[in-house]
């Protein structure tokens, strides 16, 4: 029989291979079982299909483990490619990742597609781009929030593609973060795991880490000196936006959901450690979550995590330790053209800091920001020198402009152009926060079809261009300030302002370099 048919066994009716051919359907799955069984007696060996990676902290132990691995290969008839087999090096490429003593990061060959990646031009290309990003999302802190301008376009039965500065900023941000070579540390199963979670109006976030340089007896309870950035070996970042129905839920609900979600994410690591999973949050009532009265759904969720040995501790939210999970849960925008409460307060404060000082002493001040009006009113009241309260009133009363000495208005986006137009034609000082992309609609003649126009389009455009403007480029929102002398126009990136400076030291330098570049 010809030698080329040696691997085949001939029968009267079929040809049956005696070895597993490459390239056939399910061949990888069939091979993984015997490989896993062969590696069961080995330690410090990782395997995926035909790729093997061994590691150790000592060269002598590494040589011994390599000898054991070769013996296992001989016993199980596993043939190694001599040109692809080596030992005694400090960095390895394994399953698309680069592994070294610092942890894991994306392999260089997988960074080439990112470097040459161009923005998508339709929904199909957007899905491919997000799929590429999703594979590496664990390397990007608060990935869900950064990628939100991209992912929201895929919602609904008929997604609509739109690409402007907001989407481009998110695209560039994720690509740049992945190209900087962010490291995640390998887990050590002989040490305790720590999980810190937080929730905000925008979403939930968490960070799973260990403290390799801190003695085990000093790792719990929480101590600010032990749980600092220099000691933390981050294993994974978690973040997720709230779906619309969950926005506005009570703080306890959101914080409890973030904690249980984080515990589920960390389950694999927690079950592999002989120590409890230490969890932390800045919401004091969660200390008694196991003992409080629970509904059927809450009881089910907590029971589903009963196999985990956990110890929970409250840590005040103003500590630097809570900076990372807090940042992972927050974002300046709740949705398209809608600022989160924290971003809204900051936008108002930036406006107040730039208004002429004599406005602090005017008697009649009008505020309107929808459901956020009471919060904004408190911010403005603390800025004023007059003690009489500000007036909370809708900007549209009988389709007439405000008659106050100062009006600070944040109407709904669809009403903003009309409100701006009415205020521009009036004599009283005002400031209106509006989406940048709706600015030109203020003097659009089609806006007033079927109703009275506050003025001619030419007059409105002239007054609009003469008005003061304070623009927030990242959130694509801006203040239109009219009938106010000596107001200095400015542009700024909201991301630099919304993240307080003390929080920045919790991030690695590569992240900071990119974030500050914004």
Per-residue pLDDT tens over the stretch 73-87: 888 888 888 888 888
Q: Is the pLDDT of residue 496 over 50?
A: no
Identify the pLDDT of residue 112. 61
Q: How many domains does the chain have?
A: 4
Q: Hey, is 504 helix, strand or coil? A: helix
Least confident of 23-37, 85-99, 254-268, 389-403: 389-403
Rg value, the chain, Cα: 30
The reply to whether 517 falls in a domain is no
Q: Is the pLDDT of residue 305 over 80?
A: no
List pLDDT tens digits, range 163-202: 888 888 888 888 777 776 556 777 888 899 999 888 877 7
The reply to whether 441 falls in a domain is yes
The reply to whether 99 falls in a domain is no
Same domain, 396 and 252: no
Strands 203-210 and 233-241, sheet pairing: antiparallel
Identify the pLDDT of residue 474. 62
Same domain, 318 and 399: no
Average confidence score pLDDT of the chain:
75
Q: Is the pLDDT of residue 233 over 90?
A: no
The reply to whether 480 falls in a domain is yes
Same domain, 167 and 217: no
Rounded distance between C-alpha atoms, residue 472 and residue 165, angstroms: 12
Q: Is the pLDDT of residue 378 over 50?
A: yes
Least confident of 1-5, 144-148, 432-436: 1-5
Of 304-308, 351-355, 475-479, which has the strongest mean pLDDT? 351-355
Identify the pLDDT of residue 383. 92
The reply to whether 502 falls in a domain is no
Q: Hey, is 253 helix, strand or coil? A: helix
Rounded distance between C-alpha atoms, residue 174 and residue 92, angstroms: 25
The reply to whether 102 falls in a domain is no
Cis peptide before 497 (omega within 30 of 0): no
Identify the pLDDT of residue 448. 53
Q: Is the pLDDT of residue 408 over 90?
A: yes
Which whole number is the average pLDDT over 284-304? 64
Identify the pLDDT of residue 421. 85
Same domain, 350 and 462: yes
CATH assignment of the domain containing 290: 3.30.420.10
Identify the pLDDT of residue 512. 39
The reply to whether 505 falls in a domain is no
What would the DSSP string read from start to end of 76-103?
Answer: TT----GGG---S-S-EEETTEEEETTE
Same domain, 209 and 143: no
Is residue 207 very low, low, confident or very high in pLDDT (cuts 50, 70, 90)? confident
Q: Is the pLDDT of residue 154 over 50?
A: yes
Which whole number is the average pLDDT over 400-405? 69
Q: Is the pLDDT of residue 252 over 50?
A: yes
Of residues 428, 451, 455, 427, the one with CA closest to residue 443: 455
* DSSP state letter for 470: E
Q: Which carries the bigger pLDDT value, residue 277 or residue 346? A: 277
Same domain, 410 and 481: yes
**Own/partner long-range contacts of 258-261 (Cβ < 8 Å, ≥24 apart):** 258/197, 258/198, 258/199, 258/204, 258/205, 258/206, 258/329, 259/197, 259/286, 259/289, 259/312, 260/301, 260/302, 260/305, 261/197, 261/204, 261/206
Same domain, 343 and 478: yes
Same domain, 346 and 473: yes
Which whole number is the average pLDDT over 66-70? 87
Question: What pTM was estimated for this model as a whole?
Answer: 0.45
Same domain, 71 and 12: yes
Same domain, 471 and 346: yes
Identify the pLDDT of residue 431. 93
Domain-ending residue, one of 89, 120, 135: 89
Rounded distance between C-alpha atoms, residue 122 and residue 472, angstroms: 27
Q: Which carries the bigger pLDDT value, residue 355 or residue 124? A: 355
Same domain, 324 and 357: no
Same domain, 46 and 157: no
Sequence-ordered list of residues with C-beta below 8 angstroms from that of 77, at least 6 positions apart, any chain: none
The reply to whether 184 falls in a domain is no
Domain region containing 135: 108-179
Domain-ending residue, one of 311, 331, 351: 331
Domain-ending residue, one of 89, 117, 148: 89
């Amino acid at each position: 029989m010809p030698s080329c048919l040696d691997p085949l066994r001939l029968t009267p009716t079929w040809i049956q291979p005696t070895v597993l051919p490459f390239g056939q359907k399910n061949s990888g799955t069939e091979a993984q079982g015997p490989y896993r069984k062969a590696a069961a007696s080995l330690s410090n060996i990782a395997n995926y299909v035909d790729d093997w990676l061994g590691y150790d902290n000592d060269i002598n132990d590494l040589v011994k483990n390599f000898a054991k691995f070769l013996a296992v290969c001989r016993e199980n008839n596993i043939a190694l490619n001599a040109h692809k087999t080596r030992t005694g090096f400090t960095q390895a490429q394994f399953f698309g990742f680069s592994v070294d003593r610092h942890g894991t990061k994306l392999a260089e060959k997988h960074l080439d597609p990112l470097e040459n990646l161009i923005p998508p031009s339709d929904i199909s290309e957007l899905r491919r781009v997000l799929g590429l990003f999703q594979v590496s999302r664990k390397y990007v802190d608060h990935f869900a929030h950064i990628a939100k301008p991209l992912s929201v376009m895929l919602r609904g039965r008929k997604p609509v593609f739109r690409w402007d500065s907001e989407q481009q900023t998110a695209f560039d941000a994720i690509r740049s973060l992945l190209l900087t070579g962010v490291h995640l540390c390998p887990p050590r199963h002989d040490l305790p795991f720590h999980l810190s979670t937080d929730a905000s109006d925008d979403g939930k976030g968490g960070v799973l880490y260990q403290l390799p340089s801190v003695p085990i007896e000093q790792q719990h309870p929480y101590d600010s000196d032990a749980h600092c950035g220099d000691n933390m070996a981050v294993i994974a970042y978690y973040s997720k936006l709230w779906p619309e129905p969950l926005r506005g839920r009570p703080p306890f609900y959101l914080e409890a959901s973030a904690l249980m979600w984080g515990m589920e994410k960390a389950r694999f690591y927690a079950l592999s450690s002989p120590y409890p999973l230490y969890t932390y949050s800045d919401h004091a009532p969660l200390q008694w979550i196991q003992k409080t009265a629970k509904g059927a759904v809450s009881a089910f969720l907590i029971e589903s995590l009963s196999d985990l040995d956990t110890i929970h501790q409250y840590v005040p939210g103003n500590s630097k330790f809570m900076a990372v999970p807090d940042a992972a849960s927050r974002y300046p925008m709740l949705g398209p053209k809608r600022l989160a409460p924290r971003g809204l307060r900051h936008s108002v404060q930036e406006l107040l800091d730039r208004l002429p000082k004599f406005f602090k002493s005017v008697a009649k001040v009008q505020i309107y920001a929808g459901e956020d009006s009471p919060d904004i009113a408190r911010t403005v009241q603390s800025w004023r020198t007059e003690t009489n309260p500000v007036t909370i009133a809708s900007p549209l009363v009988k389709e007439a402009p405000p008659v106050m000495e100062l009006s600070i208005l944040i109407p709904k986006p669809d009403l903003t152009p009309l409100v701006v137009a009415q205020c521009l034609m009036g004599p009283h000082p005002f400031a209106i926060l509006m989406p940048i992309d709706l600015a030109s609609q203020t003097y659009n003649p089609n806006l007033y079809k079927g109703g009275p126009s506050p003025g001619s389009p030419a007059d409105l455009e002239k007054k609009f261009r003469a008005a003061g403007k304070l623009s927030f480029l990242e959130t694509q929102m801006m203040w239109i300030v009219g009938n106010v002398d000596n107001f200095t126009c400015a542009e700024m990136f909201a991301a630099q302002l919304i993240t307080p400076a003390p929080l920045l030291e919790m991030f690695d330098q590569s992240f900071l370099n990119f974030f500050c570049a914004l």
